[in-house]
Structure 1
Amino acid sequence: MKVNEADLIISAVKPEQYPKTGLPEIALAGRSNVGKSSFINTLVTRKNLARTSGKPGKTQTLNFYNIEERFVFVDVPGYGYAKVSKSERAAWGEMMETYFSNRENLQGVVLIIDVRHAPSKEDVQMYAYLKHFELPILVIATKADKVSKNKRPRHVKQVKETLGMEKTDDIVLFSAETGQGKEDSWKALQKFM
Structure 2
Amino acid sequence: MENISANKRPEAVFICSSAFYKELPELKGEEYAVLGRSNVGKSSFINHVLANSNLARVSKTPGKTTLANLYKLEESMYWVDLPGYGYAKAAGDEKHRWSKLIADYCEKRPNLMGLLWLIDIRHVGVKADMEAFPWLSDLGKPLFPVLTKGDKLTTNEKKKQVKAAIETFGFKAEPVVYSVNDHMSRDRFWDRFTQWRSGL
Length-normalised TM-score, structure 2: 0.87
Shift of 1:127: 2.1
- Deviation of residue 62 (structure 1)? 0.8
Q: Which residue of 1 aligns with 2:57?
A: 51
Give the distance between the partners of 2:36 and 2:137, measured in 1 at CA: 15
1:185 to 164, 185, 189: 189
Aligned counterparts of 1:170 and 1:151: Cα–Cα separation in 2: 15
Distance 1:161 1:18, change over 3 A: same
Task: Give how far 1:166 is off.
Answer: 3.5
Using the TM superposition, give the Cα deviation of residue 186 of structure 1 relative to its aligned residue in structure 2, in angstroms: 1.5
Conservation of the 8 A alpha-carbon contact between 1:111 and 1:127: no
> Quick one: distance in 1 between partners of 2:88 and 2:19?
18
The number of aligned residues is 191
Matched, 1:150 2:156: yes
Q: Conserved in 2, the CA contact under 8 Å of 1:15 and 1:99?
A: yes
Distance 1:180 1:83, change over 3 A: farther
1:24/1:107 contact within 8 Å kept: yes
2: CA distance between counterparts of 1:79 and 1:181?
A: 25
Give the AA of the match of 1:8.
F
Preserved contact between residue 3 and residue 68 of structure 1 (Cα < 8 Å): no
The correspondence of residues 10-159 of structure 1 with structure 2, limited to 5 A, is 10-81=16-87, 83-159=89-165
1:40/1:50 contact within 8 Å kept: yes
Tell me the alpha carbon deviations over residues 44-84 of structure 1, each in whole angstroms, 9 at most, x when there is no partner: 11112111111110111111111132311111101223521
Question: Could you say which residue in structure 1 is the equivalent of 2:12?
Answer: 6
Contact kept, 8 Å, 2:166 with 2:174, in 1: the verdict is: no
Q: Which residue identity lines up with residue 165 of structure 2 in the other structure? A: V
Q: Are the equivalent residues in 2 in contact too, given 1:26–1:192 (CA < 8 A)? A: no
- The answer to whether the 8 A contact 1:112-1:140 is kept is yes
TM-score calculated relative to the size of structure 1: 0.90
Say whether residues 1:160 and 2:166 are aligned partners.
yes
Residue identity matched to 1:97: A
- RMSD over aligned CA atoms reads 1.8
1:176 to 180, 188, 191: 180
Percent of pairs with identical residues? 37
Give the SS at the match of 2:65: coil
**Worse-superposed segment, 120-129 or 182-191:** 182-191
Counterpart amino acid of residue 30 in structure 2: P
Q: SS of 2:80's equivalent?
A: strand
Q: Which runs of 5+ in 1 are unaligned?
A: none
Q: Which amino acid aligns with 1:155?
A: Q
Q: 1:95 to 1:34 in 2, by over 3 A?
A: same
